[in-house]
Chains A and B, each alone.
Chain A
Amino acid sequence: MARILRRKSVRILAGILIAAACGILTLALGSLKHFQPQNYIQLTLDGLRAGSIYALMAMGFVVVYSVTGIINFAQGEFVMLGAMITLSVNGLDLPLPPALKMVAAILSGILITTLIGVLMERLTIYPARRSSAVTLIIITIGVTIILRAVALLIWGADPHVLPAFTTLALEDRIFRIGEVTIQAQSLWIWGTLAVILILLYQFLQRSLIGKALRACAVNRRAAQLMGINPSRMSLLSFALAAALGAIGGIVLGPVTRPIYDMGVMLGLRGFVAAILGGLVSVPGVVVGGLFLGVVENLAAGVTDPAFKSAVAFFILIALLLFRPQGIIGGGEKPAEEG
């Protein structure tokens, strides 16, 4: 039995069968609720929107993990901080036209969060850089707790609002195609994801610093021998991850109500997306994020919304057990753990 399962064609076939079974189950459960095609389309679109945020977070995980080997638990808190700082700056009484004020708020949200990411790396990761993987993950959990508690003190326990980008008001413009609705903010989210993906890809592939980062990811010691400073690369990776997280939080802000503890669940889903994509490839995790968003939304839609987060964790555990190298990432071996 085990020998048969090891053959690649059998595994692919098994994968297709499992996917088909899940699809049929979804349709069966959906028909119990009298779902029409437009219900599925709507759920898929909403899933793609959530998935874009997971993808942005997953990129943050990948950048940090591939360069430093650390799973940065605080990635979700960067999302929260980005949204919170932006809405706070936007709420200030500045003598600026609303559109300009929004741009200023967004820029300051990204900048301040990036700064926090830099501080985090210098104050907590750098001093412990020679510790084991478990120690480092506990450290990032500690940072997560600190950031969340500070956010609770600053912003309180109530949810906040961030105006939509198009209307600069709480009411967003809504497009209707048949019975399917799309918020204008969704377009902003997809646009942002596309732009970020292209920019990050170009940065990693073309620029000298990007190449240095990738060299560090391939082999830290060899990179060091080539004159690349791994400590600086680690700092850069945290700054990049914080900026990516903040951007995700800012575009997500108008469609949710940002709250101080939003980071945990988002961060975990971002991690699931990163694992789906194999934890090392940027395009891979984008696909992983979108996939997770859609699956989660469809599964929650046909069953009970309460199980939405349970879906992500089931996928997480199943993946870790059966395919820790990711589904989209291909056959790459996961990096060895210390």
Chain B
Amino acid sequence: MKTLRARANTIAILLFAAAIFALGAVDLVRPFGVRFSDLTGRIVTLDTMIRIGILTIVVVGLNLLMGYAGQISLGQAGFYALGAYASAILTTLASRHGILPGMADTWWWPWLAIIMGMGLTGGFAYLVGRPILRLKGNYLAMATLGLGFIINIFSGEFPSLTGGNDGLTEIPRLRIGEFLLWPMQRYYFLVWGAAIAVILVALNIVNSRTGRALRAIHTSETAAATSGVDTERAKVQVLVISAMLASLAGSLYAHFQSAVSPNPFGFTMSVELVTMAAVGGLASVWGAPFGVATLYVISDVIKVRMEKVLPLQGGGYELILYGILLVLIMIFLPAGVTASGMQALRRLRRRRPADPGEQPA
């Protein structure tokens, strides 16, 4: 059974990667002058696909934390911001002020900055995680939310370091040696390569001893502790992992946007991340890319179509839809769309007479 699942995951990963890279190759090769956005009726652009890839990395981490370990985080955008700011500060200010001459200008410095950002964010998550994860339910939600807010407020202060409310600009593009990972068509492969690697790692975690421990904690923390799981350690571990993933995504965002400011990392972002995780299914790594993509495509469609029908100011519509979607999913499918779909599928399959060779699950 276990090998079967492992094999299914391998096949799924390979298929997924093939599809994603084939889509990316369209824009690189441009067969018959077709561009990526033509394939989707000009609704989903390559830019959107890259954003989906970046947020997939965050949501996979959030999935591990919320879906498997059952620990809510309403401050995940804070960790995302820490990564983005770590990359932005280390790559712009170091070379501007001539700190570390000869090192801050090399091609590998931004990569090192990404890793340092992940280390810093992970360390920060470890420090705050121990006390904060003692809280449960409502209290944990409010504490993580406060944490996200504090990071957001502080990123708007200290202008000499973070650029204040205007943020930092002119973040260099990533390159390997002399090979620049830009324009977008090349960056796409980096982002999705990272996203697929993250999904792979997450699947491994889920099917490992740690993953089983996390699920045990989700079901009952007391029972898990009684069975010899070091619940505190496991919870902090998964928080650190999710924070590091968020940081990685933040760095990729900073190098993609070439600018960071406090605005996109606010409370709204944290809520959007939770919504994406919920839509994809809280206890499903595979749900992450689909949850992110669903919300992006829906909001893009609304932005493009609705504003022609009802030309009102602001991006209010997609926010209303976010809210309605979130409420409906939480009421009717609290396990998420993917998980509920899988359940329905399993139920259908059970109703059919089992094949003679197949073992009943």
Contacts and interface: CB of A to CB of B under 8 A. Distances in A.
B146 A128 contact: no
B139 A149 contact: no
B72 interface: yes
Interface in B137-186: 137-139, 141-143, 145-147, 149-150, 153-154, 156-157
Interface string A128-149: 1001111111110111111111
A128 B330 contact: yes
B189 interface: no
A150 B316 contact: yes
B315 to A, nearest CB: 9
Contacts of A147: 323
Nearest to B138: A71
B132 interface: yes
A306 B156 contact: yes
Given A149-B319, A320-B142, A127 B331 contact: yes
A156 interface: yes
B334 interface: yes
Given A135-B330, A306-B153, A338-B137, A156 B313 contact: yes
A268 B152 CA distance: 15
B135 interface: yes
Given A149-B316, A313-B150, A143 B143 contact: no
A278 interface: no
**Interface size class, chain A:** 35 or more
Nearest to A153: B316
B314 interface: yes
Interface residues of B, number: 45
Contacts of A145: 271, 319-320, 322-323, 326
A146 B74 CA distance: 18
B96 interface: no
Given A146-B320, A149-B320, A320 B331 contact: no
B154 A337 contact: no
A19 interface: no
Nearest to A275: B142
Given A137-B138, A141-B271, 4 more contacts: A127-B331, A141-B74, A142-B325, A271-B142
22 contacts: A71-B138, A138-B274, A138-B330, A142-B324, A142-B325, A143-B323, A148-B319, A150-B316, A150-B320, A153-B316, A156-B314, A157-B313, A157-B314, A264-B267, A310-B154, A313-B149, A313-B153, A317-B147, A320-B139, A321-B131, A324-B135, A337-B138
